[in-house]
Amino acid sequence: MSVFSVDLLCRDITRDKALRKRFQENPEAALSQYPHPLSAQEHTALLSGDVGTLYRMGVNAFLMGNLARHQIFGLDASSYGERMRAVDD
């Protein structure tokens, strides 16, 4: 599992405007070119905006908030909040 790579991606999207733009325009292509390895499950969860699954896998919720903040993977503040509240611990 490469949870750390997902954390890096969430951080990099905030720090790198060009990377953020690539993810906003074509998330699938940008994800396939991202240099840090991701598992198939992480890849699928990211593309579908399934932050609940990613959280249960151990991805940092604060960092994932950057995806919603920048409207990546179909997320926004409302959908991010709904999906995180649906997580059963």
pLDDT digits (tens, 9 = 90+) for 19-35: 999 999 999 999 999 99
pLDDT on residue 89: 54
Q: CA 67: distance to chain centroid?
A: 5
pLDDT on residue 31: 96
pLDDT on residue 54: 97
Most distant CA atoms of the chain, gap in Å:
36
Rounded CA-CA distance 35/75 in Å is 22
